[in-house]
C-alpha cells in the first residue's frame, strides 16, 4: 500500500536571525550578568514552525520577507536546507528581523524581537495566495502585520484550507481573523489573555508546559494528553515545534495529532536553541511511550 502524500503546509509569518546568550540566571531590570555562551541561530515564529513542520514530515512553503542585509542569504539558505520551499520568501529593503534571546541554567528565557523586514510583509501577491489556497493547512502567528494575517486566513477560507493561528505575541485578535480560524493554538497565558475570544474558534489547543496539552473540540469535548518526561535544557522554540508537529498530524484527528505534538514539543526542550525533532525522532519517542 502506497504511503499517503505528505500534508501541504503553508506558513505565512516571520523569520529572524536569533542572537542567543546563555547565562546562569536571567538579569533583573538594571542588572548586568556574565554570559557563558553566544550563538547565532535562525528563528522567528513563522520560520520556526515552518522548519518544525518540514522536519515532522510536511511539505512546506514559506511566505515571508528578509532584508537586503548580511543576514538575509543565511536566513534564506537555512529554510532551503530544511526542505522548505522559499519561492515566496521576498526581499525587502533594510534589515532582516532580529531576536535577542537570553537563556538561563533553568531553561527559562527572555526574548526581544526587532521586526525589521517582517514589518514589510504588508500585502499578499498572487503566488502567495496560490500557495495558501493550495495547502492543506495554513500556519499563522502575529509577528507580521495583522492585516496580512487576516488576508491570509481569508484566502485560506476561500480555498478550503484549514487555518491554524498561534496568536503570539498575544494581542487582541480581530473578529475577521477569529471568524476564519479553525484551530487556535495557545499557551496558558495566551488562553487567559484572550478571554472569551477562544470560545469562537471550533478547535482550541492549549499547551500546558511539562503537563502536556489540552484540546477542546467544536462539541465542547475536552481531551488532555500528558507530555513525556524529559530533561529540559532549553525551552526556546518548544511551542513552535509543538505547533509544526500538530499541523502535520492534524489529518489523523485532533487526539492523535495532540499526542505527536506533545512529543515533538518535549523533545525540542532537550537540546539548546531552536531544535525541532524529525518525524523519526517523534516516532521513536512515541513508540517508547506506547
Under a CB-based contact definition with an 8 Å cutoff, are residues 268 and 239 in contact?
no
**CA-based R_g, the chain, Å:** 18
Torsional sign, CA 7, 99, 150, 183: positive
Q: Which of 240, 252, 281, 283 is catalytic?
A: 240
SS3 166: coil
Q: Is 69 a catalytic residue?
A: no
Is 1 marked as binding a ligand? Answer: no
Is 212 marked as binding a ligand? Answer: yes
Is 44 marked as binding a ligand? Answer: yes
CA distance 5 to 8: 9
Is 236 marked as binding a ligand? Answer: yes
Under a CB-based contact definition with an 8 Å cutoff, are residues 107 and 238 in contact?
no
Is 257 marked as binding a ligand? Answer: no
Is 239 marked as binding a ligand? Answer: yes
Is 42 marked as binding a ligand? Answer: no
Is 287 marked as binding a ligand? Answer: no
Under a CB-based contact definition with an 8 Å cutoff, are residues 142 and 169 in contact?
yes
Under a CB-based contact definition with an 8 Å cutoff, are residues 141 and 49 in contact?
yes
Binding residues for ATP: 187, 207-212, 239-240
Q: Which residues are annotated as a binding site?
A: 16-18, 44-48, 143, 187, 207-212, 234, 236, 239-240, 268, 271, 273
User: Binding-site residues for K(+), please?
Assistant: 234, 236, 268, 271, 273
Residues classed as catalytic: 240
Amino acid at each position: 500500500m502506497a504511503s499517503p502524500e505528505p500534508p501541504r503546509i503553508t506558513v505565512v509569518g516571520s523569520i529572524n536571525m536569533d542572537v542567543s546568550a546563555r547565562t546562569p540566571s536571567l538579569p533583573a531590570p538594571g542588572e548586568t550578568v556574565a554570559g557563558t555562551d553566544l550563538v547565532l541561530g535562525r528563528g522567528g515564529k513563522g520560520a520556526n514552525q515552518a522548519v518544525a513542520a518540514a522536519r515532522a514530515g510536511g511539505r512546506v512553503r514559506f511566505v515571508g520577507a528578509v532584508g537586503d542585509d548580511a543576514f538575509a542569504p543565511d536566513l534564506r539558505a537555512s529554510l532551503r536546507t530544511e526542505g522548505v520551499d522559499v519561492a515566496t520568501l521576498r526581499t525587502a529593503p533594510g534589515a532582516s528581523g532580529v531576536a535577542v534571546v537570553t537563556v538561563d541554567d533553568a531553561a527559562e528565557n527572555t526574548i526581544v524581537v526587532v521586526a525589521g523586514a517582517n514589518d514589510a510583509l504588508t500585502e499578499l501577491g498572487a503566488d502567495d495566495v496560490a500557495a495558501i489556497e493550495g495547502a492543506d493547512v495554513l500556519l499563522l502567528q502575529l509577528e507580521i502585520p495583522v492585516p496580512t494575517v487576516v488576508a491570509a486566513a481569508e484566502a485560506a477560507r476561500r480555498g478550503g484550507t484549514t487555518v491554524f493561528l498561534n496568536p503570539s505575541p498575544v494581542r487582541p485578535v480581530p473578529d475577521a481573523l477569529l471568524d476564519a480560524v479553525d484551530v487556535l493554538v495557545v499557551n496558558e497565558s495566551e488562553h487567559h489573555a484572550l478571554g472569551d475570544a477562544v470560545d469562537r474558534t471550533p478547535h482550541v489547543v492549549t499547551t500546558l508546559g511539562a503537563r502536556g496539552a489540552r484540546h477542546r473540540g467544536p462539541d465542547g469535548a475536552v481531551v488532555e494528553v500528558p507530555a513525556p518526561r524529559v530533561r529540559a535544557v532549553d525551552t526556546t522554540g518548544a511551542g513552535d515545534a509543538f505547533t509544526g508537529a500538530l499541523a502535520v498530524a492534524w489529518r489523523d484527528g485532533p487526539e492523535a495529532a495532540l499526542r505527536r505534538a506533545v512529543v515533538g514539543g518535549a523533545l525540542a526542550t532537550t537540546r539548546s536553541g531552536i531544535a525541532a525533532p524529525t518525524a523519526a525522532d517523534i516516532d521513536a519517542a512515541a513508540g517508547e511511550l506506547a
